[in-house]
Amino acid sequence: MLAEDIGKVLRFKKLTLAVAESCTGGKLGDLITEVPGSSDYFLGGVISYSNDAKTSLLGVDATTLKTKGAVSEEVALQMAAGARKVLNADIGIGITGVAGPAGGTPQKPVGLVYIAVCSSGASVCRRNVFKGTRSVIKDESAQKALAMLREFLGKIG
C-alpha cells in the first residue's frame, strides 16, 4: 500500500507531514491515517473548501485567488506552504481542483486538479486532469498526491 510505504520513509527520515485539501474534502488525510501509527509523522490537515478558509487558515494570498483563481498552481503551492506553516511540519501537500459534476469552464474543466508538495527547500506542483465521477476524481487526486509525495521524498534528504 502506497500510504504504508510513505509512512516508512517519513519515519526513517524523521519527517512530518501536513496537508491542505480543497476538492478532495479530506480523502488524502483519510488515506494517510488508514496506516496504524501514522500519528508518528502525520500532524494533521486543513480542509479549506472556501476561498475564505484558504486565506484565513492557510494564508493564501487573496490577490492570487482573485487573479489566478482557486484552481491554480499558485494557490496549490500556497496551500501546501500554509499547511506546513500552520502545523509546523517538514512537508506540506496542497490540493485544489474542480471535482464536478458542475463548475468547470473551458479553461478549467471538471477534473482539473493541481497538487503541490513542498518542504523548506523544495517544491513541486503538477497539473492533472482526471476523468470520471466526482468520487473518482477525488479518489484519483488523493492517490496522485501520495504518488507525488513518494517521488518527492526520494529527492530530498
Give the tens place of pLDDT for each residue, 8-22: 999 999 999 999 999
CA distance 110 to 108: 7
Intervals of the chain under pLDDT 50: none
Class assignment of domain 2-155? alpha beta
Give the residue from 10, 12, 3, 6 showing the smallest Cα distance to 41: 10
Grid look-up 523548506 returns 120
pLDDT at 157: 65
In this structure, the dihedral spanned by the alpha carbons of residues 74, 127, 34 and 156, taken in order and rounded to 10 degrees, is -70
| Of 87, 21, 30, the residue nearest 48 (C-alpha) | 21
pLDDT of residue 131: 97
